[in-house]
Structure 1
Amino acid sequence: MRVKICGTATFADLACAVTAGADAVGFLMGITHVTQDAVTPEAAAAMAAALPPFVEPVAVTHLTKPTDLIRIVDASHCTTLQIQDMVTPEDIAEVREALPYLRIVKAVHVMDASAVATAKDFAGAADAILLDTRTVDRIGGTGIPHDWNISAKIVEECLVPVILAGGLTPENVTEAIRRVRPYAVDVHTGVKKNGVRDAERTRAFVVNARSAPVPHTSIMG
């Protein structure tokens, strides 16, 4: 099971995620909704340059205009882009044409069963779908789980990898993986303690995710 640790705001956060064995780290940039962990693209680029091989830097943004998305990726030197807010498949295609090397992840907020159709719509444009939770003022980092039954249905019906996020913790990630069977899991607030990324919780999250039993599924078609 692959693991992304999101909301990397300092070199201490970065070291915590890498030491725990994360496959990817997310940098929050271009923020239009509430978050406590935003960084500038230049700060993200400095941290990305310090990553060891095989740990992916991910630009996570609330921005929606293709020109802004391209600018964020160029400035941060990230190799994956996670789009949290609403865009169109045509917007994604424009970004992909400008940055053909880029992997693009589209967040889908699982509020009700309509998320299944939304995920399938974006599966043709994005390289992966990320299932998250939102509130009135937050479009990520809510710490609130969503309906895993809907998430499991999306995994069954989507032809691209599905990443599970939204309220995951070291305590519930094993059950979440067992029920949803995602390609990867993503955590932000669930590995914090007193508002700061905690090494013990981060390590426990990665260990529990890696040890969760999940049937093998191919992502190659």
Structure 2
Amino acid sequence: MRTRVKVCCIASAEEAAMAVAAGADALGLVGAMPSGPGPIPDERIAAIATTVPPPVATFLLTSETRAEAISAHIRASGPTAVQIVSHIDPAEAARLAVLEPRVRRVQVIHVGGNDALDLIPAYAPHIHAFLLDSGRPNATVRELGGTGRVHDWAISAEFIRASPLPVFLAGGLTPDNAAEAIRRVRPYGLDLCSGIRTDGRLDPEKLRAFMRAVCSADAQAG
């Protein structure tokens, strides 16, 4: 199976075009966050999203936690998918499925221990995919992504084996560890931001190196 690639923290139409040309399957557009890199105004998210050709998906990263507020954020920015970066109440996830049935819904799980697997049955009925990340949602200043840290891939691999839905892997991915991530975790897709940036800007050479590493790992796995 081909590993999908989601390039996150897209900041401009130029970065979006670069990622699409490199072969990205999805782009991440970061809304307001309590911490972390890449947030841009909703107006810019909406403008970038209109430039992205199908079938490339546009993911809105939202820190909203109530279904109505997430729905409003979606409608203000026009993505094809929403990435919910907080561990929201599953009842809100169910409500969002009613409010936004046409938008793909991806729930982030911040992997801190084996208890991450306990969240699978709570969310799976209401979403389309999971994304495993390395945030600290209970920290004094909440970390909801973009940490550049690798979490415990053994837990991630176990999560993927238990999940009935596709699972993206995020957290500290780079061209140097992409192949190992695919080999050890076997995710549906990889998601990254800082690992392909230089001085905060999307780096075309790092991006191409990452895509080559993914293609090589897929060929060896196949």
Shorter chain as denominator, the TM-score bin is over 0.9
**C-alpha contact 1:63 1:83 (8 A) present in aligned 2:** yes
Displacement of 1:35 after TM fit? Answer: 2.5
Cα distance between partner residues in 1 of 2:121 and 2:157: 13
Aligned to 1:119: 120
Give the counterpart letter for 2:20 in structure 1: V
Give the conservation status (yes or no) of the 8 Å contact 1:108–1:119: no
Map 1:42-57 onto structure 2 (within 5 A): 42-57=43-58
The yes-or-no answer on 1:5 pairing with 2:7 is: yes
Deviates more, 1:89-98 or 1:150-159: 89-98
1:212 aligns with 2:217: yes
Q: Contact 2:146–2:171 at 8 Å: present in 1 too?
A: yes
Contact kept, 8 Å, 2:148 with 2:171, in 1: the verdict is: yes
**Deviation for aligned residue 1:215:** 5.7
Deviations 1:50-93 (A, max 9, x none): 11221111111111111110011111110101000121221112
- Residue 97 of structure 2 contacts residue 126 of structure 2 at CA under 8 Å; is this kept in 1? no
Q: Once the two structures are superposed, what CA deviation does each residue of 1:125-148 show, in whole Å capped at 9, x if it has no partner?
A: 221110000143421000000000
Which residue is 1:94 aligned to?
A: 95
> Residues 37-186 of structure 1 correspond to what in structure 2 (within 5 A)?
37-135=38-136, 136=139, 137=141, 138-186=143-191
Q: Retained in 2: the 8 A contact 1:152–1:180?
A: yes
Structure 2 SS opposite 1:130? strand
Shift in Å, 1:107 = 0.3
**How far apart, in 2, do the equivalents of 1:21 and 1:106 lie?**
24
1:107–1:132 CA contact under 8 A, matched in 2:
yes
8 Å contact 2:105–2:129 — kept in the other structure? yes
Amino acid paired to 2:183 = R
Rounded to whole Å, the distance in 2 between the matches of 1:89 and 1:179 is: 29
SS of the aligned residue for 1:190 comes to helix
Distance (Å, rounded) in 1 between the aligned partners of 2:125 and 2:96: 14
Give the letter for the 1:99 counterpart.
Answer: E
* 1:189 paired to 2:187: no
**C-alpha RMSD of matched pairs (Å):** 1.5
Q: TM-score, normalization: structure 1?
A: 0.92
Whole-angstrom distance in 2 between the partners of 1:154 and 1:64: 23
Length, aligned pairs only: 215
* Identity score, percent: 37
Question: Could you tell me how far apart the structure 1 residues matched to 2:101 and 2:200 are?
Answer: 37
Residues 211, 75 of structure 1: CA spacing in aligned structure 2 closer, same or farther, 3 A cutoff? same
TM-score, L = length of structure 2: 0.92
